[in-house]
Amino acid sequence: MSLTIEACYIEVDEDEPFEGEVGRAGGENGTKSDDQTATGWTQWSNLPDHILERIFAHLTIKERYYASLTCYGWYRAFYLPRVWSNFLVEDATLGRMRYNYYSGWQPVLDHSRLQSCLLSIGHLIRGLDFRPQVSFNNMFQFMSLISWAMEQNARASGCPREWAGCGQRIRSLNYLFPCNMALSEDPESIKLFGTGGQLLAALKRLMFCLTDLQSLSLVDLILERYEANHLLDEVLESCCLVLRRLCLVNVTSCHCPIMHIGLFLNLQVLVVSPQNVDDDVLTLLADSKVKHLTLLQNRYTPPALAISPCSAKAWLVVRRDNPRLRVHLRVESTTNAVILLQPEAPVASMIYQTPKTMITSDQLVAAVDAYKYTLTVYGHEQLPTVAETVPVAGGDFQERPDSLLVLLARSCPGLNALMIRECISTATILLIARAAQNLRHLYVNRAQVRLGCDWPRCPEWSDEFYDWLQTTAGSLDATEREVSRILDHPYWHLLSAEQFQMASLTRHVAF
């Protein structure tokens, strides 16, 4: 792939050996030791192809180009198939800087680089990921050119040899639109603008060309109703039988059911916002092969109070006709957002990715009453960004969610994974571990754990059990050992802030 970027070189003093080169040059006295001779040294230029593919896949296009200049082995790795399995398209991808009198220097798509790129590795691309920020014209031109190349391959009269196979292996398409045009100085402000016009037309043209598309994700398009009703016309025509995963988040900002999502005959996983689903859509899903339905709310989704859930009658029809369907409720927001509960839905997981949302009795009791026989995953993932939003570790027992979490553990026999961010006591952790019958994954923030047992004695507790609870809860080490034994998890421990931030409940959702 010919790129007109100059390579940069690093001058190295020949008198000073590289780190790790001492073994080849000799020890302190200039002679090789027996261990060094027996061990040998692996050369980076001779790494196996499957390792080079993984390394190159994490690099940008410019970094891959620079790496390919080092040696013949890495030049060959530049064209390995897995390196280009996912192609990320951003504002500056394959572009050059051009001065604009109003906006200063702006990235402009370089058509010669783009053409050279597609001619070289277009037949290797298996996934396209569009992440525009401000240069929407670059996205439009990129989609137009790659769509034209795929249309050449579909011509009955034959395709030019140089464009043969370009885009024919693409199986996934992700498009995330930056709908928030508010000033960056105020991260809390929201000013929504949706996509549309020529950019939407180019996106629909591209989706129509992808006849073997198996995964499609369209996020935050914020369309008008008349545009949303015809968004998936081309996809349904070209991928009705092959699409397996569909993600439609905030296609509109108001209530607008997308009927197309129930017409893909082999769809397995569906992620959609609750304002784009109604009883009629559920009726179609009841007769489909969808196994996992995620109702996702993010910071641009209307508040839960402004959205009407689907009726209990429609969900009962779904449970009768599609008993394998599992529903997952998830909210991702920077505000105090709550999950919109769906009555009688077969909800398997409830995940909050909201640093400001606290556990309340109304929300948790309602969730337990509605989903106690189906719920397997529950928790709040992100740590709060403001210290005042979470009670300190010395809060009163009545103000903490200890009793609510124990109620959750006792009432939901299928609960398998639980993440606790709020302030609780070590005694509560022990009670949760004993009460949850099938709990295997318990994540607790160590910084919010209060040492000791401040539970009032329950009449059904024996003297032996209460003494065990008080004694074990008096030590963090004893609590960790006992929970490890109960959960049959020998390496279980309380998580630090860094460990808790990296933990995720999504991996316990089986899709």
- Domain of 116: which CATH number? 3.80.10.10
The two counts, helices (H) then strands (E), for the chain are 18, 16
The answer to whether residues 224 and 369 belong to one domain is yes
Instruction: Output the tens digit of pLDDT for each of the chain's 511 residues.
Output: 444 455 444 444 444 443 443 333 444 444 444 444 445 555 777 888 888 888 998 888 889 889 989 888 888 888 888 888 899 998 888 888 888 777 778 888 888 889 998 998 899 999 999 998 888 888 999 999 999 999 998 887 778 888 888 989 999 999 999 887 776 656 667 777 878 889 999 999 999 999 999 999 999 999 999 999 999 999 999 999 999 999 999 999 999 999 999 999 999 999 999 999 999 999 999 999 999 999 999 999 999 888 999 999 999 999 999 999 999 999 999 888 899 999 999 999 999 999 888 999 999 999 999 999 999 999 999 887 654 444 444 568 888 999 999 999 999 999 999 999 999 999 999 999 999 989 999 999 999 999 999 898 888 889 999 999 999 999 999 999 999 999 998 889 999 999 999 999 998 987 6
Tell me, what's the pLDDT at 268? Answer: 95
CA proximity to 330, closest of 386, 377, 388, 398: 377
Rounding to the nearest 10 degrees, give the CA dihedral for residues 487, 493, 495, 500: -40
Neighbours of 475 (CB within 10 A): 14
The answer to whether residues 254 and 392 belong to one domain is yes
Q: Which domain holds residue 305?
A: 82-401+414-425+439-450
The answer to whether residues 63 and 203 belong to one domain is no
Domain tally for the chain? 2
Do residues 244 and 217 lie in contact, with contact meaning Cβ atoms separated by under 8 Å? no
SS3 442: strand
In angstroms, how far is the first alpha carbon of the chain from the final one?
37
CA-atom Rg of the chain in angstroms? 28
pTM, two decimal places? 0.85
The answer to whether residues 276 and 323 belong to one domain is yes
The answer to whether residues 65 and 88 belong to one domain is no
The answer to whether residues 52 and 170 belong to one domain is no
Range list of H helices, 212-333 = 225-228, 233-239, 279-286, 312-321
Tell me, what's the pLDDT at 239? Answer: 93
The answer to whether residues 178 and 48 belong to one domain is no
The answer to whether residues 172 and 251 belong to one domain is yes
Tell me, what's the pLDDT at 264? Answer: 95
Q: Give the CATH number, domain containing residue 56.
A: 1.20.1280
